Amino acid sequence: MKRVLLTGAAGDVGRRITPMLKAAYGDVVLSDLKEPSDTHGLSFVKADLADFAQVAAAVRGVEGIVHLGGYSVEGPWESILSANIVGCYNLFEAARQAGTKRIIFASSNHAVGFYPRSTTIPHDVTVLPDSRYGVSKAFGEALGAMYAMKHGMKVTALRIGNVNDTPLDLRRMAIMLHPEDLMQLIRIGLDHPDIAFEVFYGASNNSRAWWDNSRAKALGYRPKYDSEAKLDAAQKGQALATPDPVGDFFQGGTFCAAEYTADFAALKNWRAPTS
């Protein structure tokens, strides 16, 4: 990659990986609605993802994009639509017009959040979004697949768990993604010669994992961290949580429980589709 763009650079995950991206690729452009407090000497382009012209200016001249930008939690449909649906389309289409070769799309575990915690799922399961936010991430995966197949762009969707070096509770013991392991996944997506369209799980080598990440490992992923080493911290965080029958049953946690009106007893006995 001669030049890499990082969207969402001012967010928590963006701030964590910026120095690693700089070390790996050198010429990195940062973009967000506001400039990060520390740019690490890199150039910054302000861009609202909902404004195609601003996005086009940000992607100009870049060969690879790490797309972390967008609305990062559940929210009103209007907010999700603008940032994560319209904004995601703008990013992919502007990248196509600019001749960008590769995109890493930050999907989310919430695209598959309604799988039970008792089920281990591979990357090619039916999406079961747990929220409007999760729906937007499933959309982004589908959009990435279309741009890969129709236009030859190399696209990797990362269903990210929780980026941290310490799990905040027992749920995040299963889905913790250490920033250094995230950087490994990004480098596979930006550099591996066999990438066409891939879906990887963004998780470290966690002993309590709910996800089969064998496809990422087949392409060279060797995560170094296991959340089990921080069990004490997770237990302390869990002790502060309120019991939640719905959220504690499904992988998506509180995203599943919010606004929930279905017959929980019936869904508990339903067998989710897996390949």
Active site residues per annotation: 133
Residue pair 138/130 in contact by the 8 Å Cβ criterion: no
Pairing of strands 176-177, 162-163: parallel
Residue 8, token pair as written in the block: 């969402």
Q: How far apart are CA 55 and CA 45, in angstroms?
A: 9
Residue pair 136/67 in contact by the 8 Å Cβ criterion: no
Task: Region of 61 please: left (phi>0), alpha (psi -120 to 50) or beta.
Answer: left
What amino acid occupies position 37?
S
Q: How far apart are CA 252 and CA 211, in angstroms?
A: 13
Q: Where are the alpha helices (DSSP H) in the chain?
A: 12-25, 52-59, 77-80, 87-98, 132-151, 171-175, 179-191, 214-218, 231-239, 254-257, 264-268
> Residue 87 phi/psi, 5° resolution?
-65, -40
Q: How far apart are CA 135 and CA 124, in angstroms?
A: 16
Q: Which run of H or of E encompasses 202? A: strand 197-202
Query: Cα-atom radius of gyration of the chain, to the nearest Å?
Result: 18
